[in-house]
Amino acid sequence: MRLFFFALLLLSLKSFAQKDSVEISIHIIPKMDSDFRKEEIRIWVVKGYEKYLDTFVKYPFKIKLPPPTQRDSLDVIIQSFLDIGVHDLKKEFFELVYVDNFKADEEKIINFPEDCIYNINFKNRICPVCFKSDKAIPVIYGLPIMDRDGHSPFDDFENYLWGCDILSCGPTWHCKRDNIEF
């Protein structure tokens, strides 16, 4: 009888260890590796409608998840901000990834941010049409929050209000001369 319990205990320890090994690894796209090396990245995990994990990680960007079951699916939101070089403004980078079919000892790799020209060239203020930067103003996403006098921090400098659409690949600059975003 004692042997039976011992065997049962070993069996349950083994299955617990296997389920504990899901790791999420954020691979920065090579063209932006130097931009993110010293930054913190927020990893926000949602299971169903419940918050599962919300944490900030430094390089190398990896987290171990509490053991999900095989049937769980997770929404993983990766978010980070980088200086664009004017008015202390930061550009938001994010990626939403749906992860499911967990297997034991598996590493889930998420590439971040989206490999697109707007993300890779975010610091480049030179307009692709006129090849000048003197009329390039920053694109602002979201709704500016106003104080009691109806003043928002974005009133202090020229900017282009994009609206509330948050994009994983969105422009950083607007050229007033050519009326384009880049």
- Interaction site with Zn ion (CB under 5 A): 127, 129-130, 175, 177-178
Of residues 52 and 162, the one with the C-beta less far from Zn ion: 162
What is the distance between the alpha carbons of residues 24 and 20, in angstroms, rounded to a whole number? Answer: 12
**Cβ of residue 174: shortest distance to Zn ion, in angstroms?**
9
Beta pairing class for 50-57 and 41-47: antiparallel
**Cβ of residue 32: shortest distance to Zn ion, in angstroms?**
24
Of residues 45 and 136, the one with the C-beta less far from Zn ion: 136
Residue of this chain nearest to Zn ion (CB atom) = 127
Residue 112, classed as helix, strand or coil, is strand
What is the distance between the alpha carbons of residues 92 and 170, in angstroms, rounded to a whole number? Answer: 9
- For the chain, strand residue ranges (E) read 23-28, 41-47, 50-57, 62-64, 74-83, 90-99, 107-112, 136-141, 160-163, 173-175, 180-181
Of residues 112 and 182, the one with the C-beta less far from Zn ion: 182
**Cβ of residue 177: shortest distance to Zn ion, in angstroms?**
4
Handedness of CA 135, 126, 182, 152 (dihedral sign): negative
**Cβ of residue 163: shortest distance to Zn ion, in angstroms?**
21
Of residues 61 and 122, the one with the C-beta less far from Zn ion: 122
Pair 55, 42: CB distance under 8 Å: yes
Pair 54, 86: CB distance under 8 Å: no
Of residues 58 and 177, the one with the C-beta less far from Zn ion: 177
**Cβ of residue 158: shortest distance to Zn ion, in angstroms?**
14
